[in-house]
Structure 1
């Protein structure tokens, strides 16, 4: 009996010790989540902060787009043509749309290439614009003049006058240089002397 009581007492003591040990590790994990819990909150805060930064970045991007959108302008400009008999220079008007200065000049050149009026014949219709550059008041056009674009002496003179009048209506353009296939040339079509560059 004494042995049984002793064994039961020993078992009870072991169980109590085991329970005590079990509670301590249990307490440690309880503490661990409490310490870990703020970390996800912090990470969430950081990720939210990242998201807000991202949204800020996006809004900045949108702001950039919004800032770009108002820059788009539509403007009525003067454009110059000739009559069907190539007898005189005719002033017309054209609506152009652009966001930057370079686009404005490209649109102005395109206006010289087309007309919706029979009595206004475009002098630059067949002359291809290869490139355009504007810097410090100097506008440079590089063009290709195919044989079919040759208008004779009178037409060439009108063509030069047309492009000068069209581009010099922009106050910021102080000089106009026309290159043919990347090179300066004494004449656009072989009949009229061409200034290098043309100035106001």
Structure 2
């Protein structure tokens, strides 16, 4: 006669196995969650105070240079007439920021053909620098080959330069340098004094 308690024992053993397995499965998630909580990434990061960030406000000691004021003055500028026989006077408005730039403005105006009746004797020339010291205005210029004139034209050019620059009361003498050097003549025809004094 079969033992009736055997099926009951098997059922009890299965139930214990199931409960035992469930208990182990429940422990593993707990361990995993505990590891996540102890991760360094969850530690609070140090807070940065707003005062620690660099300031974008300008320093009180930093000073911006004031804009240079442009000035204007009416001046006489000299050209040759159409046949190159004499000088023609024109009045122009010079714009400048310093006295030295005023002289350069006058000289550069001499290069421009203002109307059909005049010939700019200084056309093509470069006026590199103007420097006034103790009444003597030193002008450094460049005379390219295409700007070379004959003897009458060179004399007219020198006269035009003198009349244009000597109208300024503070200029007592003018010294012309070609590419930084004192030369005997601008174009090889008319001698130059160093300096040319106002008569």
Is TM-score (shorter-chain normalized) higher than 0.5? yes
- 1:82 is aligned to 2:83: no
Whole-Å separation in 2 of the counterparts to 1:109 and 1:185: 19
Identify the match of residue 154 of structure 2 among 128, 153, 156. 156
1:46-195 alignment, distance < 5 Å:
54=60, 61=64, 65=66, 68-69=68-69, 72-195=70-193
- Tell me by how many angstroms 1:53 deviates: 8.1
Contact 1:126 1:149 in 2 (8 A): yes
Whole-Å separation in 1 of the counterparts to 2:158 and 2:166: 12
Give the 3-state SS of the residue equivalent to 2:66 in structure 1: helix
Unaligned runs of 5+ in 2: 1-56
Contact 1:92 1:120 in 2 (8 A): no
Larger Rg: 2
1:32-53 Cα deviation digits (max 9, x unpaired): xxxxxxxxxxxxxxxxxxx898
Give the 3-state SS of the residue equivalent to 2:103 in structure 1: helix
Residue of structure 2 in register with 1:14 after alignment: none
Runs of 4+ residues over 6 Å off in structure 1: none
- Tell me by how many angstroms 1:148 deviates: 1.5
- Tell me by how many angstroms 1:141 deviates: 1.0
Residue of structure 1 in register with 2:36 after alignment: none
1:112-153 Cα deviation digits (max 9, x unpaired): 111221111111111112222222211111111122111211
Contact 2:95 2:105 in 1 (8 A): yes
Q: In 2 relative to 1, CA 187–52 (structure 1 residues): closer, same or farther, beyond 3 Å? A: closer
Q: Give the alignment's Cα RMSD to 1 decimal.
A: 2.5
1:79-125 Cα deviation digits (max 9, x unpaired): 00001211111111111111111111111111111122111111111
**Paired positions, count:** 148
Q: In 2 relative to 1, CA 149–171 (structure 1 residues): closer, same or farther, beyond 3 Å? A: same
Give the 3-state SS of the residue equivalent to 2:175 in structure 1: strand
State the TM-score, normalized to the length of structure 2.
0.66
Whole-Å separation in 2 of the counterparts to 1:183 and 1:103: 21
State the TM-score, normalized to the length of structure 1.
0.65
